[in-house]
Amino acid sequence: MTELTEKKLKEKFSDFITEVIYFRNEQTFIVNKSQILNILTFLRDDPELLFNFLIDLCGVDRAKRNDRFEVVYRLFSLKNKQSLRIKCRIDENDLNIDSVTGVFGTADWHERETYDMFGINFINHPDLRRLYMPEDYQYYPLRKDFPLLGIPGSIPLPKK
Amino acid sequence: MGLESAFGEGFITTQIDALISWARKNSLWPMPLGISCCAIEMMAAADPRFDISRFGSEVMRFSPRQSDLMIVAGTVTYKMAKVVRKIYDQMPDPKWVIAMGACASSGGMFRSYSVVQGIDLFVPVDVYAAGCPPRPENLLAALMEIQKKVDKSSVLQFQNNTMIEPPVVNK
């Protein structure tokens, strides 16, 4: 099944797949972020593949490597009992990526969380607000350069 | 002694402080602010085995306006801090606070950007109960410490507490 996924995806998006990784029977594609909407739509709608369930969507801060941020999409095919990971790398200077809420409605809050924690901007997201932190918070807590205990005084406490 | 014999049966003499403190300490109505796992132990303290009513505190009030002891049982995040403070402000004087467990006392294991490192940063705390979570006995011990503190208090001590100004409503 994994071979079929790879074959079909490479047929259609060969120019946009930078790497295919196999590790402990897990299949991962690293793709160009410009095609993420098309790739996810294709994987969802292809009658043989049917990756119709977005398990998770999250961000990764790769610290000092090139293309610092990564958005990870975990897909699952309920029909074929097959899972798949798609990764998009994002440069620090251009933190934009297309929102996939139009393909998978469940991505809504996942993308809000990723925006809240990493500051990645999801284009065309219906309601891109912070999910956990206060709305006027100015930092992104899961970035590697953010101190563990936070920035002192960045969230005001009530007066004693 | 002399007066009691003059008035006859049914009269005693005492200090008003002693009488009011005795009444207060044996009828502390807790505001159970259960915001994480410590709340389970707090509930256990109210069950027949530990029975907080032995100390006159079984009347858990879910309205701060009817309570005089706030038990902060759980992790207080920065977002929750405003709520905790608001509940404290709504309680009528005199009032006391127990910081139950490691999280409320010091942030506990959550040394993190989202968790307040001890509720004493924004409300005055009278007794800290150690434990993660504290056993019900420990909460009862904390309650007894509060009772000792109430017993020593004086009525006049609470006379000078300023009223809280009503919030300004934006027009």
Q: Which residues of B touch A134 (CB under 8 A)?
A: 78-79
pLDDT at residue A58 greater than cutoff 90:
yes
ipTM score above 0.85: no
pLDDT at A113: 93
Nearest CA in chain A to B87: A158
Sequence-ordered alpha helix ranges (H) in chain B: 2-7, 16-25, 38-45, 78-90, 101-106, 136-152
Interchain contact, A159 vs B123, CB within 8 Å? no
**Any long-range contacts for B157-161 (C-beta under 8 Å, 24+ apart)?**
B157/B94, B158/B93, B158/B94, B161/B93, B161/B94
Chain A: closest CA distance from residue B42 (Å): 26
pLDDT at A15: 87
pLDDT at A54: 93
How far apart, in whole angstroms, are the C-alpha atoms of residue A113 and residue B20? 53
Interchain contact, B78 vs A134, CB within 8 Å? yes
Q: State the pairing for strand pair A53-61/A69-77.
A: antiparallel
pLDDT (tens digit per residue) in B127-162: 999 999 999 999 999 999 999 998 888 877 766 555
Mean pLDDT of chain B: 86
Confidence class for position B5, pLDDT limits 50, 70, 90: confident
Determine the angle formed by the axes of helices B136-152 and B16-25, rounding to 10 degrees. 160
Q: What domains can you pick out in chain B, each with its CATH number? A: 28-153 (3.40.50.12280)
pLDDT at A154: 83
B57 close to B29: Cβ distance less than 8 angstroms: yes
Interchain contact, B112 vs A148, CB within 8 Å? yes
Q: Which two tokens stand for residue B145?
A: 């410490």
- Total H helices, total E strands in chain B: 6, 4
pLDDT (tens digit per residue) in A66-105: 889 999 999 999 998 999 999 999 998 889 999 999 999 9
Strand partners of residue A17? A31
Question: Kindly report the CA angle at B69 between B65 and B75, in degrees rounded to 5?
Answer: 100
Residue B143, exposed/middle/buried by CB under 10 A (0-12, 13-18, 19+)?
buried
pLDDT at B168: 64
**Plot region of B91 (φ>0 → left; ψ -120 to 50 → alpha; else → beta):** beta
Interchain contact, B124 vs A160, CB within 8 Å? yes
Q: Which residues of A touch B114 (CB under 8 A)?
A: 132-133, 141, 150
Residue A51: φ, ψ to 5°:
-80, 85
Q: Which residues of B touch A141 (CB under 8 A)?
A: 113-114
Determine the angle formed by the axes of helices B38-45 and B136-152, rounding to 10 degrees. 70
pLDDT at residue A149 greater than cutoff 90:
no
Q: Which CATH number fits domain A2-123: 3.40.50.1820, 3.30.460.80, 3.90.1170.40, 3.10.200.10?
A: 3.30.460.80
